[in-house]
Amino acid sequence: MSLHGNHLIAGQRVAPEGLTFVAINPSTSQPLEPAFGDATEAQIDAALNAAEAAFDGLRAATPEVRATFLELLGEKIVGLGDALLERAHAETGLPMARLTGERGRAVGQCKLFAHMIREGSWSQASIDHAIPDRQPLPKPDVRRVLQPIGPVVVFGASNFPFAIGVVGTDTVCAMAAGCSVVVKGHPAHPGTCEMLSGAVYEALAETGLPAGSFSLVHGKSNEMGAALVRHPLTNAVAFTGSLKGGRALFDIAAARPSPIPFYGEMGSINPVFLLPGALKARATQIAEGYVGSVTMGVGQFCTNPALVLGVGGAELDSFVQAAADAAEKAAPATMLHAGIRSAYCEGTAAIASIEGIEIAGQSGTDPSDEATQAECVIFSTDLATLEANESLRSEVFGPCSIITRCSSKDDLLRFARTLEGQLTATIHGTPEDLLEHADLIRVLERKAGRIIFNGFPTGIEVCPSMHHGGPYPAASHSFFTSIGTGSIYRFVRPVCYQGFPDESLPELLKGTNTRGSMRLVDGALTKSDA
């Protein structure tokens, strides 16, 4: 497939202007053709005006049509074949097996949302019938359902080019809800973004949906991203990335004359708590799984377990030694791009320079600069050092982690109370440990969006029960998830209809329940007619 390097606005190629950039193959440090360029203000304006013009047509399409679009999109993604995987591999350095699995996840998300919107219960339709003879005042007929909010801007992630990118959860759930989307492609893999955008347009055309329902604009500058958030036709923003970048865009969204929701997933250190029973029974097994989680994807996951805490003693010593042994066997691997590797090297060097920090274990071979590689580094320290150095609680994106020795159960609890918001928190223990540390669990319920027992946070199941978010700074709003079917609720809002005749109501609020959706009728959940 020949790439052209243009923006794609409502299905039309629009040539870049001004400064251009190219993707770099991180495995070889060689540039990849073609060149791309930042979208201008006029091009951003054109994309969002097209999205606004398409919105009414997209939201008016039946759930069946939108579901068919999503299923077709999944087929088109697969139809790109090995060429898509090869380009993504060249731009990201991610192994082909990982990319193949991630493509499957992206296709699975399309099918998942298609099924959900066909069934309809997600819309939370609620009907309260009128009681005209109620005393002292009559009760009106009141009905409520969730409606799409309008054009949405999506910032693709660097570490998941398929599943959290152009055709990732943000785009798919927004379009499932009936929102048009403008995607800012990630500059580290613009060719992959272009290929996936072609799949979107093919699916739109085959289902008769407006081409303006989707646009892709490229860009590397911070100002270009800011312009997308500031644009008056942007109704919400979805972002996955760093805290620094996310907070800057969040502030712009809040400072607009008409503020808009900004749904940022901004990472965390994902603490792991090792309880006594688990350490005594399986310290080596846990350590091996832990290092496997730290090094998965070269540590380039927002759920990377960057901090471990346990009460010092022979069992924790065994854990540290087993982790060190596993780290030595972990070969250096290519990171997504040179900027991420540079930040990782600076971050690990800064940790190593702190008094009271030791390197417990690291990869047994040196990383290659030309191949943009990073080595695994496992640090160890004590709680006093951790508490005295605020920087140790900041995310270092990559395959490193800090094991911290505590003196008592109370130390674990005290530190947990000082944690900022996290995407995840993990507990390794026995059922008896859980009972003895119930107060720790209660604290973590206030700190994290997902709590894992006897597992590791990397690897996220895409399902209705998943919550990928957490209190700030892990996410900008702890109620919403960026993975799983619940992500759709970021891009809808409730609309209440009072006194409308049946024929003028939205389908899910009519008396006849044609889709068999679950609805709340006069306070009772039912699939019956109202």
Q: Annotated catalytic sites, by residue?
A: 265, 302
Q: What's the rounded Cα separation, in Å, for the pair 474 and 471?
A: 6
Contact 262, 249 (CB under 8 A): yes
Burial class of residue 111 in the structure, from the number of CB atoms within 10 Å of its CB (0-12 exposed, 13-18 middle, 19+ buried): middle
Task: Determine the 3-state secondary structure of 400 from DSSP.
Answer: strand
Q: What's the rounded Cα separation, in Å, for the pair 384 and 239?
A: 35
3-class secondary structure for 330-376?
CCCEECCCHHHHHHHHHHHHHHHCCCCCEEEEECCCCCCCCCCEECC
Residue 33, by phi and psi: left (phi above 0), alpha (psi -120 to 50) or beta? beta
CA angle 491, 495, 499 (to 5 degrees): 165
Task: Give me the residues paired with residue 448 across strands.
Answer: 422
Amino acid identity, residue 195?
M
Task: Determine the 3-state secondary structure of 493 from DSSP.
Answer: strand
Q: What's the rounded Cα separation, in Å, for the pair 89 and 96?
A: 6
Q: What's the rounded Cα separation, in Å, for the pair 286 and 293?
A: 10
Q: Which residue has the tokens 């911070």?
A: 222
Contact 48, 233 (CB under 8 A): yes
Strand order in the sheet with 519-521: 492-498, 142-148, 126-128, 519-521, 524-526
Q: What's the rounded Cα separation, in Å, for the pair 164 and 267?
A: 14
> Is the link from the previous residue into 431 a cis peptide, with omega within 30 of 0?
no
Per the document, the length of the chain is 530
Q: Structure tokens of 397?
A: 């994106």
Contact 84, 103 (CB under 8 A): yes
Q: Which of 367, 239, 396 lies closest to 378 in space, CA to CA?
A: 396
Q: Which of 209, 216, 204, 203 lies closest to 77 in space, CA to CA?
A: 203
Phi, psi of 495 (to 5 degrees): -125, 130
Amino acid identity, residue 47?
A
Task: Determine the 3-state secondary structure of 412 from DSSP.
Answer: helix
Q: What's the rounded Cα separation, in Å, for the pair 327 and 101?
A: 25
